Amino acid sequence: MSKIAVVFWSGTGNTEAMAEAVAEGAKAAGADVEVFQVDDFNATDMADYNGFLFGCPAMGDEVLEEDSFEPFFTDAEAKLNGVPVGLFGSYGWGGGAWMETWSERTKEAGAKFVGNVIAENAPDDEALENCRKLGEDLAKAV
């Protein structure tokens, strides 16, 4: 059975709601899924999983959250080569440039990039459905 980690940071609960939805989708597709806030997971834990769904909202000038998530992801990048990865997050301004940059970083790290989902502010029903589909797609890619 595929083992997937959903690792996220959320300040307002928007990205947390998306994390729950991607986990639902991966579980529905038959994966063994564990959900972690980023402070409860580190790059050394990655060897125990076959794929990852990472979630982080846009912060500041459309960047990843800088105190917890960015340092984690910098460490994680070295372990992504050949590994299925999906990304998700919310934003309150801008047009999603942080996700484009993050997706490129993930691809450049050699990950098998499955896709991404973004939501403006709180995810609506369509965004949550897209998150469930991302989780399902990741489970199938593992």
The low-confidence residues of the chain, meaning pLDDT below 70, are 1
| Predicted pLDDT at 95 | 80
CA atoms in the 13 A half-sphere facing the CB of 48: 10
pLDDT tens-digit series, residues 104-114: 999 999 999 99
| Predicted pLDDT at 1 | 65
Residues 102, 48: contact at Cβ < 8 Å? no
CA distance 92 to 33: 28
| Predicted pLDDT at 61 | 80
Q: Domains of the chain by range and CATH? A: 3-141 (3.40.50.360)
Torsion angle defined by CA atoms of residues 18, 117, 83 and 63, in that order, rounded to the nearest 10 degrees: -90
Give the strand pairing for 51-55 and 32-37.
unpaired
